[in-house]
């Protein structure tokens, strides 16, 4: 069974109505339990939980400290290409946007790695547009040996691949893969993914199963907040995580919660989530699953990241550029995927984190832990 089979147990409208029907008693019950189920998670992301945010935040902070200690993992994205074969209504890299396209060659990749390494990072996130012709598995096989010379941990966020392709890339040094479903509502998904392989809802939905079968060390999931009613979509993320942890129990998991940001060809946001509601969601994920890693990118503002850091977050991006060639060369805004909000340098972010009593971890894990 894949998640495309499991998801049939959760009908979108039934889930949405169930979340909004939760009461203060449901929230109190969830807060009193040592282990939560999906019904408890519904209560914690419901409007009924908003008056309990302080209590949720305190418990979230306590659980995070127990599991992760006072540490914050730092990572940085390296965009290799903004080429894309999909048409998506919300993405700056979408094929229909009049965007200058660039794919880094091997020398440019090495130059970027050198520039990033000087900032102190040992954990890198490789990002591309979804273009199998320009940035497919063969391209990654050329790039990964170069990147591996400089970084102990490599995460990729690229187009979904077949199981055999993931197995190959693991052998080339990939430690983790991030794939976001964008929205778990198939009707809404079809409205926003108009052309290209990404329009295949089921193939994307089953990507994490292929990753699990390939034996990936860590996988990331999430929805793009704003495409659909955010509470319902985020329930599906929790249900997806619950399914994956039971089936692929040896894998680590991380959740991100990207809110739509301005970009070329940007669209109107369907479901706006304010800062207080994002804090509620972060705390709900932590209470639901004390083991899962929670990541916050530079999409969010300086003010928000400063204050939410102790409440459940375990990893932060810093010094990010969202266009190919954004570190070794002068940044070119015409190439970027979306606008970042927190533009502080890695050194500034590290000092802030240390000032709050946290240790900065510049890499995720060591190969000696798995014998590879």
CA angle 367, 361, 301 (to 5 degrees): 130
Q: What is the pLDDT of residues 242-251, one digit of tens each?
A: 999 999 999 9
CA distance 217 to 74: 18
Tokens at 309, concatenated: 């850091």
Q: Would you state the pLDDT for residue 267?
A: 65
- Kindly report which listed range (107-111, 272-276, 329-333, 354-358) carries the lowest average pLDDT score: 329-333
Q: Would you state the pLDDT for residue 326?
A: 85
Phi, psi of 119 (to 5 degrees): -80, -15
Are 109 and 147 a contacting pair, CB within 8 Å?
A: yes
Residue 272, pLDDT above cutoff 70: yes
Q: What is the pLDDT of residues 187-235, one digit of tens each?
A: 999 999 999 899 999 999 999 999 999 999 999 999 999 999 999 999 9
pLDDT band at 362, cuts 50/70/90? Answer: confident
Strand ranges, E, within the chain: 71-81, 87-88, 123-128, 153-157, 176-178, 193-195, 218-221, 252-256, 293-296, 315-317, 359-361
Q: Would you state the pLDDT for residue 262?
A: 55
Which residues make Cβ contacts (< 8 Å) with residue 35, sequence separation at least 6? none
Which residues make Cβ contacts (< 8 Å) with residue 231, sequence separation at least 6? 16, 19, 20, 45, 46
Q: Would you state the pLDDT for residue 342?
A: 80
Tokens at 343, concatenated: 């533009």
Q: What is the pTM of this model?
A: 0.93
């Amino acid at each position: 069974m894949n998640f495309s089979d499991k998801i049939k147990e959760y009908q979108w409208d039934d889930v949405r109505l169930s979340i909004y029907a939760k009461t203060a008693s449901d929230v109190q019950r969830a807060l009193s339990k040592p282990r939560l189920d999906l019904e408890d998670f519904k209560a914690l992301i419901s409007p009924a939980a908003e008056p309990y945010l302080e209590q949720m935040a305190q418990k979230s902070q306590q659980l995070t400290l127990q599991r992760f200690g006072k540490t914050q993992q730092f990572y940085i994205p390296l965009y290799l290409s903004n080429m894309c074969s999909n048409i998506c209504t919300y993405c700056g890299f979408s094929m229909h946007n009049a965007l200058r396209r660039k794919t880094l060659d091997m020398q440019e990749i090495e130059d970027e790695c050198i520039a990033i390494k000087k900032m102190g990072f040992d954990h890198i996130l490789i990002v591309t547009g979804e273009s199998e012709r320009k940035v497919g598995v063969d391209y990654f096989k050329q790039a990964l040996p170069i990147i591996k010379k400089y970084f102990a941990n490599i995460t990729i966020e690229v187009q979904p691949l077949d199981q055999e392709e993931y197995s190959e890339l693991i052998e080339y040094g990939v430690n983790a893969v991030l794939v976001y479903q964008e929205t778990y509502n198939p009707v809404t998904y079809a409205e926003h993914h108009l052309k290209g392989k990404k329009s295949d809802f089921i193939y994307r939905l089953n990507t994490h199963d292929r990753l699990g079968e390939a034996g990936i060390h860590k996988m990331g999931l999430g929805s793009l907040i704003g495409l659909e009613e955010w509470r319902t979509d985020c329930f599906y993320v929790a249900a997806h995580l619950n399914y994956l942890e039971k089936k692929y129990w040896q894998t680590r998991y991380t959740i991100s919660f990207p809110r739509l940001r301005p970009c070329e060809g940007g669209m109107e946001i369907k479901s706006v989530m304010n800062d207080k509601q994002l804090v509620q969601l972060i705390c709900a994920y932590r209470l639901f699953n004390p083991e899962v890693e929670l990541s916050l990118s530079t999409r969010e503002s300086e003010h928000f990241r400063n204050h939410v850091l102790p409440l459940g977050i375990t990893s932060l991006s810093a010094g990010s550029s969202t266009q190919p060639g954004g570190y070794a060369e002068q940044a070119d805004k015409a190439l970027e995927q979306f606008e970042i909000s927190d533009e502080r340098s890695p050194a500034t972010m590290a000092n802030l984190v240390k000032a709050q009593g946290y240790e900065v971890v510049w890499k995720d894990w060591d190969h000696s832990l798995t014998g590879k």
